[in-house]
Every structure is written in C-alpha cells, then in structure tokens.
Amino acid sequence: MSVPFRRVGTLALDTNVLVYAEGINGAVKKEAALALLTRLRPETTLIPVQTLGELYSVLVGKGGRAPKDAHQALLGWGDAYPLIESSPAVMLGAADLAVHHQFTIWDALILAAAAEAGCRLLLSEDLQDGFTWSGVTIANPFATDLHPLLEAWLERADSN
C-alpha cells in the first residue's frame, strides 16, 4: 500500500529505526527499535520509499545479507506499514532542504516525503532532533530525553 495523499496525524520512520529493528547495530539497538515499533500504530506510521532503498543498501552492505534476504525484509516492512511515494514535488522539496538547510539529498527526500504525506513527526536518530520543516518535526526516538511531541504521541499511543 502506498500513500499518494496527505494523511494528517501520522509519523514517518527514518532508515536507522528499521536498520536497528533488523539487528544490524547490535542487540541493544534492536530491542530499543522493536520496543518503539510495538508502541506505534501501523495505520499512523508511514515509511518513505527512500527509507526502504537505504535499508536495502545497509542490509546488503554493512549487514552482509544476500540481496534476496534484503528484498524479503523490504517486502515485510512494506506489508507492515503504508509507504510514502516519492514524486516531483517531493524531489523539489528535497532540493530545497539540501540547498537551504544542508541536508544530504537522500535525507532530504525522506523528510520531504514525510511532509508531502502530512506527517507530524519523522523519527530519526541521525537527523537534527527538533528541526521542523513544512510541519514535520524530527524527533530522536532513542534519545534519553524525548522531544515533547514524540513523548505526547507515545503517551496517546499507549493509552489507546
């Protein structure tokens, strides 16, 4: 399932969340990522297709997985969560982020896709915690002190 339209009230996942969940950076990070993912509702958690592309690269490269196994992992994540498609508008937004905010184009594509889909949060350990662009705030879900928006989001998720 892909998301070509805005879904307000959603959040997006950056690559590192999925990389950790796949166990690439050790058991502690895997447990933290899986604990986070169990707290998030699949219907309000989206994955930009750029995230899946980066995940594939990490699984095959750093993770040493066979391409077939990395492909299966991507299919699994795509079945678990709706995907955010890239578009010309997403690419133009990403270029703006790269030029004006010094993001790499690849990170910018993830943030721009989250904005295009109407996400309120982008969960990422690698990007600037608290940075907000086009209504999307980056929050590090592995930080000791969570961003207040993420903390509130998780409290609502836990109460449902």
The three-state secondary structure class of 5 is coil
pLDDT in tens, 63-112: 999 999 999 999 999 999 999 999 999 999 999 999 999 999 999 999 99
pLDDT in tens, 13-68: 999 999 999 999 999 999 999 999 999 999 899 999 999 999 999 999 999 999 99
Locus of tokens 């969560």: 81
Q: What is the DSSP letter of 42?
A: G
The three-state secondary structure class of 97 is helix
Dist. CA 55–CA 74, nearest whole Å: 8
Dist. CA 67–CA 96, nearest whole Å: 33
CATH domain 2-159 topology: Rossmann fold (3.40.50)
Prediction pTM value? 0.92
Q: Where exactly are the structural domains of the chain?
A: 2-159
